[in-house]
Amino acid sequence: MLQKNGIEPEIIKYLDTPLAEKELQLILKKMAQKPVDIIRFNEAVAKELALSASDQRSEAEWIKIMVENPIIIERPIVVNGDKAILGRPPEGVLSIF
């Protein structure tokens, strides 16, 4: 969809190259989201770790868990400059370009 609109987004393949804590913090800031907002709680790994959105953890603790287990991070995340958005629904992505 983006390519059809002449947009070549930055693609971060964090399953292949995991994000560092600072990178994830920056992406969350660009998204104006908290870590729990982009965790896939139904993912098998999240269930194995007994993670829940109601867990009382600090943002730093959530980010550490996400960096160590990138499969639990919602995807795709699209970044454009100082903005980022979850790529679902896909049509919403155009709002940051």
Taking the chain, what is the end-to-end CA distance rounded to the nearest angstrom?
12
Q: How confident is the model at residue 19 (pLDDT cuts 50, 70, 90)?
A: very high
- Mean pLDDT (the chain) is 91
pLDDT tier, 55 (very low <50, low <70, confident <90, very high otherwise): very high
59 band by pLDDT with thresholds 50, 70 and 90: very high
Per-residue confidence (pLDDT) for residue 51, from 0 to 100: 97
pLDDT tens column, 24-45: 999 999 999 999 999 999 999 9
Confidence check: pLDDT of 12 > 80: no
Contact by Cβ (8 Å): 85, 93: yes
Mean pLDDT calculated for residue range 39-61? 96
Sheet with 10-11: strands ordered across? 10-11, 77-80, 83-86
Any alpha helices (H) in 1-97, and if so which ranges?
A: 21-31, 44-48, 59-68
- The CATH superfamily label for domain 8-96 reads Glutaredoxin (3.40.30.10)
pLDDT at 64: 97
